[in-house]
Amino acid sequence: MMHFQTDEELAIFFDQCAKDGLMLTFDPEEQSKLDCLLPEWDIREGHRIFEAGCGAGRLTEQLAPKIGISGEIFACDLSPEMIALAKQRKLSERVSFVCRSALKNNCPANWFNRILCLNVFPHFLDKPKTLREFRRIISRDGVMWINHLCSRESINHFHSNASDEVANHILPDEEEMGVLLKEAGFGIMSLKDSDAGYSLKAIPV
């Protein structure tokens, strides 16, 4: 079984997903779940948002109106093909689509009010290091969200059966996630895991 070892190999996989027209929009069920998440994220005018694994910008497009003319969205993804599709959305100049690893973002420290990880956390190849980087760039009063539009069990089952490329890309259980976050300097404020989705809210401590 093949497992990705580098960002470059992972980018190739998601480049192909982009070419196949995958993950370009949310289906009606996904959109209904997202409509419930958006108010919880409490994104306000002027907020600076870091969106990890933005893909083709389907979420970014819905976030952009919420930050107003003074906010900022830094949306990054490993896949050049996904970023090219995202840029075709021609969003506000306050939105930056960058082909870059979330881990190697080169963003200022203590900068972002929100860090959003929707449907991406299992794909971080070095989760401890990535979380430490998120701790560096989040503002002191910021909030990080790790979300999936299905349960942890469902996403792990999907990845283990989808293809060899992502078979070992799993969402950790609550105990392991707690350890990862604590060691990175985050505290869990809430964690909900059900058929409606997976939602973890964490703050810097």
Share of the chain above pLDDT 70, in %: 97
Residue 27 covered by a domain:
no
Domain span at residue 12 reads 7-19+49-204
Q: Above 50 in pLDDT, residue 2? A: no
Give the CATH number, domain containing residue 107. 3.40.50.150
- Residue type at position 132: R
- Phi/psi for 35 (5° steps) reads -60, -25
**What is the count of structural domains for the chain?**
1
Beta strands 186-194; 197-204: pairing state? antiparallel
CA distance 39 to 43: 8
Residue 24 covered by a domain:
no
Residue 40 covered by a domain:
no
Beta strands 95-99; 72-77: pairing state? parallel
Residue 159 — pLDDT band, cuts 50, 70, 90? confident
Instruction: Please write the tens of the pLDDT for every residue from 20-67.
Output: 999 999 999 999 999 999 999 999 999 999 999 999 999 999 999 999
pTM of the model: 0.94
Looking at residue 1, its pLDDT comes to 42
Looking at residue 118, its pLDDT comes to 98
Instruction: Please write the tens of the pLDDT for every residue from 68-91.
Output: 999 999 999 999 999 999 999 999
